[in-house]
A and B are shown apart, each in its own frame.
Chain A
Amino acid sequence: MIKVRGLKKVYPSAVALRGVDMDIQDNEWLSIMGPSGSGKSTLLNILGGLDYPTEGSVSYDGKEITTMKEDELAVFRRENIGFIFQQSYLIPYLTALENVMLAQYFHSIVDEKEAAEALKRVGLSHRLHHRPSELSGGEQQRVCIARALINSPKVLLADEPTGNLDRENTRVILELLGELHSNEGFTIVLVTHDPYVAGWGKRLLTMEDGRIIKDESFHS
């Protein structure tokens, strides 16, 4: 379980978070919506240990991450968290397979068979040796998903993962995420502007001006 308490992030020019409290259960699929500049990305980054808060705490199963040092945090991220962003951030001169293997390498050791297997699960077995520039936006994002999940993270953090995709590709990605989520049982925290995308989650937080103003759960 992830516990967030009294989280504040203050920039010299702006206040991004003004006190966020929330609990995220294991295996939950949580969507976060809110207007531009409301602090969604800031929250996600702090949640994923990419950034430090000005104040407040974030703990994973009781383990506080906001007080960890850079190198401890790096180890923590690599073993527990997967990220997907709006831009793919794939290495342009490496193939899809090599991009996934690079994530393996930073985690431990590479295993080509396993990496190919992961790309097959996201429907890219025919694109293993293509560079990012030779892939469509939807395919690139699927490589990112394979890469984010290759080290079996407990939590997948996604910031506008479908922001650059059309409706059809968005659906494909979300179906894929849904399938992996129910098979592998990781937690998803997904930030989006799109109510259709947010609707795939079981719970929706709405943010405004650095605060959570609504917390709804959907039962289906």
Chain B
Amino acid sequence: MSLFIPEAFIGSIKGTIAISASWLVINSYLSSKNKETGPVHLFILILWFMLLFIAGTFIEFDAFYKDQIRRVSAYMFGLLLITAIFSSGWSLKREFRLFYIFLIMLLYGPDVMSLSFFLKDLSAMRQNFTGAYIAGITGFLSGLSLLFFEKKIRSGLSPYLSLTGLFFSLSAIKLLLGGTGGYAELSLIPAVQRGLMKFFHDLVHQLFVFFMVPDHPLLKTTVWNFIGLIFGEAFTMIATLCILVIPPLVIVLRLLKRPEEVPEGLKGAERRKYIHEFMLLNRKRAFPIFLFALMVSFFWFFKAESGPGLYIPQPVPVVEEEGFVIIKLKEPGRELGDGNIHKFILRKDEKTYRFFIFKRPDGKFSVCLDACEICPPEGYGQARQHLICIYCNTPIPFNTVGEPGGCNPIPVGYIMTEKEIKIEVEEILKKWRLVHSGVSRE
């Protein structure tokens, strides 16, 4: 048994570096205002995260709450980004150091808890408690070592930070390093994109319902093909880029302008010098914001390049045996409990019924139709953290697969024995009647 589990180390060092780096930029910002934070604040911070970590480790959270906590982390990011955009142009009159400490606490609290869940799950999965935690603690200490460079980094960084620049820098750090949930291209960009897709999708559906657009064959194909574009991959990808990149670029452009007014009494060379220094400073301050926009664009291209990356297996045909479909847990070349979705297809009376079996990270097996109640039944693909409805791109967190409602796949009852899963054919047929039967894009 290994005493070191690399995933634990990576998860932990990533989180700790993010926290340390945030602390460093905040301190750089504050030091330009002569309001440095001290060891006491650092101590408070570390204590807080330790408490959260311990809580996450020793308190048993429901899968639902775990998922909510992970989600809060993403909301925190969104909030930070919005603050960054709207903070442009104003500066806090009274800078409370504690405000910033509190910001870090809030920003990374959910991440630290997720990390503790992650380490716990990892050690359970590998049946190696010591290895996971030794690696985790090593990662934690390595990440903290960044703080030794504080003095050096701080003075170099401080001219580059305005309040907005600070928030954008924090966003960038969170984007690069935040959370155990994965890297930027897996969190922010698809999240924004899915949000947009869903928004456009729902909007169009609502409009159709509202205006009672008739279900005409022409509408089925041509029009839907056009409308589909706006909540399709290509359009929402570009909309995502615009939403993420345009506001910071606007701020950058504003910062590159000349000062609107020059103090009275400054003439000639002195006036030019004032303008020049003003512009130099603002150019420096625009830099981190520009960098953020650049980084997001980079991830965007990276993401656009790699496509959605959904895992969509071919359904395996199954047959009815005395009113049941029986699927073995283990078969050569297939293991139902390996964490991947396994799709099956049943033919009965000239009709086909698709369903899948999925073992959730929390250990529970779910059997669901490969369709939901809302969308045309195009089925689901599997991403890193979610199942994704292929039709509307709604993400379904793994641990909520099997719960009914909305765009969740429709759950099907089953009987589980030691070796196999038995599903009643009648149950499949009955549940399939719930499937959305409206217009399909096909």
Contacts and interface: CB of A to CB of B under 8 A. Distances in A.
B276 A108 contact: yes
- Pick from B270, B273, B275 the residue with the most CB of A within 10 Å: B273
Contacts of B268: 114, 150, 152
Contact of A152 (B269, B276, B279): B269
A114 B275 CA distance: 14
Contacts of B276: 107-109
Interface of B: 268-270, 272-273, 275-277, 279
B278 to A, nearest CB: 10
23 contacts: A79-B273, A104-B272, A107-B269, A107-B272, A107-B273, A107-B276, A108-B269, A108-B272, A108-B273, A108-B275, A108-B276, A108-B277, A109-B272, A109-B275, A109-B279, A111-B272, A114-B272, A150-B268, A150-B269, A151-B269, A152-B268, A152-B269, A152-B270
Contacts of B273: 79, 107-108
A150 B270 CA distance: 11
Given A108-B277, A109-B272, 15 more contacts: A107-B269, A107-B276, A108-B269, A108-B272, A108-B273, A108-B275, A108-B276, A109-B275, A109-B276, A109-B279, A114-B268, A150-B268, A151-B269, A152-B268, A152-B269
Nearest to B279: A109
Interface of A: 79, 104, 107-109, 111, 114, 150-152
B171 to A, nearest CB: 32
A82 to B, nearest CB: 11
A75 to B, nearest CB: 11
A149 B275 CA distance: 19
A107 B276 CA distance: 9
Nearest to B275: A109
Contacts of A150: 268-269
Contacts of A79: 273
Contacts of A114: 268, 272
A150 B273 CA distance: 12
Where chain A touches its partner, the secondary structure class is loop
Smallest CB-CB A-B distances: 8 pairs: A108-B276, A152-B269, A108-B272, A151-B269, A108-B273, A109-B276, A109-B272, A152-B268
Contacts of B275: 108-109
A152 B269 CA distance: 6
A219 to B, nearest CB: 32
- Pick from B269, B270, B277 the residue with the most CB of A within 10 Å: B269
A108 B269 CA distance: 8
A114 B269 CA distance: 9
A172 to B, nearest CB: 24
A74 B415 CA distance: 85
A107 B273 CA distance: 7
- Pick from B272, B275, B279 the residue with the most CB of A within 10 Å: B272
B438 to A, nearest CB: 64
A109 B275 CA distance: 8
Contacts of A151: 269
A109 B268 CA distance: 11
Contacts of B272: 104, 107-109, 111, 114
Contacts of B279: 109
A152 B274 CA distance: 14
Contacts of A109: 272, 275-276, 279
Nearest to A108: B276
Nearest to A114: B268
Contacts of A107: 269, 272-273, 276
Nearest to B273: A108
B174 to A, nearest CB: 37
Nearest to B258: A109
A149 to B, nearest CB: 9
Nearest to A153: B269
B192 to A, nearest CB: 39
Contacts of B269: 107-108, 150-152
B265 to A, nearest CB: 14
Nearest to B272: A108
Nearest to A118: B268
B69 to A, nearest CB: 52
A111 B270 CA distance: 12
A104 B268 CA distance: 10
A104 B269 CA distance: 8
Contacts of A104: 272
- Pick from A104, A109, A150, A151 the residue with the most CB of B within 10 Å: A109
A201 B276 CA distance: 36
A152 B270 CA distance: 8
